[in-house]
Amino acid sequence: MSKRELLASILERTGAGTLLRSAPTWQGLLVLNYHRVGPWPTTVWDKDLFSTTQEGFRDQLKFLKANFDVVGFDEVASVANKRGRHVQITFDDGYRDNHDLAFPVLTDLGLSATFFVCTGFIDKARVPWWDELAWMVNHAQAGNRATFRGLELSLGDAQQKLAAARRLNALYDRIAESERASFLDELSQAISSKRCTPVDGASLWMSWDMICALHRGGMTIGGHTLNHVELSRFSESEQLVEIKGSCQRIEAEIGAPVRAFSYPYGTPHSFNSSTRIALTDAGIEYAYSYSGGYQGRTGWDRYDLKRTPVEAHHSDAFFRSMVSVPRLFA
């Protein structure tokens, strides 16, 4: 158990968490970020992309609704500088479970969330590298052990496969763009696994009909680039194509302007001053990063609204502490 998990469980067990929630320990806007909702222990895709199960999502939303002001994207501008503890729910990438499992819960509870979709995933049913990597490890025929680029990988049981996928994921993250093209082919040789086909990826993403249903149901649809690129690696004109192109693609489908955007990868290094120019050009009002934290009542950067990830391995106590005392946990 991590130190923060331990502290969270003590706060909840001793009742200090309830006390902190009744005293206004923070003011402003806390934006939570989800990727996937569903039965993550049995998935062959990237487990770390799951934020919670459908039941867990319902419990979290009920808790938020009882203790905070849950706001949709349309209310974000009006809560800047305002007293109160506001929470916004967001989802990245466009996974199908967002429509099938999260949307019904949001509708049931009368809440609005913002869904940032990568249009290339929707249009081409592309399997992203992190999901393909996990899928390959779960379909490895190499036996209990394999060596790849200096990594000794144990592939015996589900736990070892999860650890192997995490190590490979971290390695992929570190290598240069030019080395990435051959990475998955080499891995497929090393662990004796097939590569994914578009058929394998066909059920991963929402369809445009599903995205339009979210929009009609009171959800906000935002941009997340055409090809899920780390924008700062590209020129200003290339960034504009990725940002404006994805927003125009969404606008053509939903028939309404796109005003929100989230940065793929979302670290402080994932976007730069050229990105900000491109966002203005594309008519984006707020852009969201993904490296923790929250907005106080004042001093917001509208092209760097902080978001905090919700992750499936967090306990209920951690989730409650994170939203109750974001200064310590978010």
- As a whole number of angstroms, the distance between CA 86 and CA 211 comes to 25
Helices (H), the chain: 3-14, 16-22, 54-67, 73-79, 96-97, 103-108, 119-124, 129-138, 158-174, 177-191, 198-201, 208-216, 236-254, 273-281, 316-324, 326-329
Which of 12, 93, 97, 242 binds Zn ion (CB under 5 A)? It is 93
- Is residue 223 part of the contact set for Zn ion (CB under 5 A)? no
For Zn ion, which is the closer residue by CB, 88 or 321? 88
Q: Binding residues for Zn ion, how many (CB under 5 A)?
A: 3
Contact status: 46 vs Zn ion (CB under 5 A):
no
Query: Can residue 201 be called a binding residue for Zn ion (CB under 5 A)?
Result: no
Q: Residue 46 or residue 93: which is nearer to Zn ion going by CB? A: 93
Question: Other CB atoms closer than 10 Å to residue 70's CB: what's the count?
Answer: 21
Residue 242 near Zn ion by CB under 5 A: no
DSSP string, 8-24: HHHHHHHTHHHHHHHTT
Q: Report CA-CA distances (Å) from 130 to 97, 148, 263, 268, 287.
A: 17, 17, 17, 21, 23
Q: How far is the CB of 122 from Zn ion (least distance, A)?
A: 13
The piece of 155-163, 200-208, 234-242, 262-270 that touches Zn ion (CB under 5 A) is 262-270
* Shortest separation between residue 94's beta carbon and Zn ion, angstroms: 9
Based on CB atoms, which residue is closest to Zn ion, 48 or 93? 93
Tokens of 212: 């339009």
12 interacts with Zn ion by CB under 5 A: no
Amino acid at 326: P
**What is the sign, positive or negative, of the torsion defined by CA atoms of 141, 146, 147, 148?**
positive
Q: Which residue is nearest to Zn ion (CB)?
A: 92
Stretch that binds Zn ion, among 3-11, 161-169, 258-266, 282-290 (CB under 5 A): 258-266
Among 56, 264, 309, 326, binds Zn ion (CB under 5 A): 264
Candidates 12, 46, 48, 92; binder of Zn ion (CB under 5 A) is 92
Chain contacts with Zn ion (rule: CB under 5 A): 92-93, 264
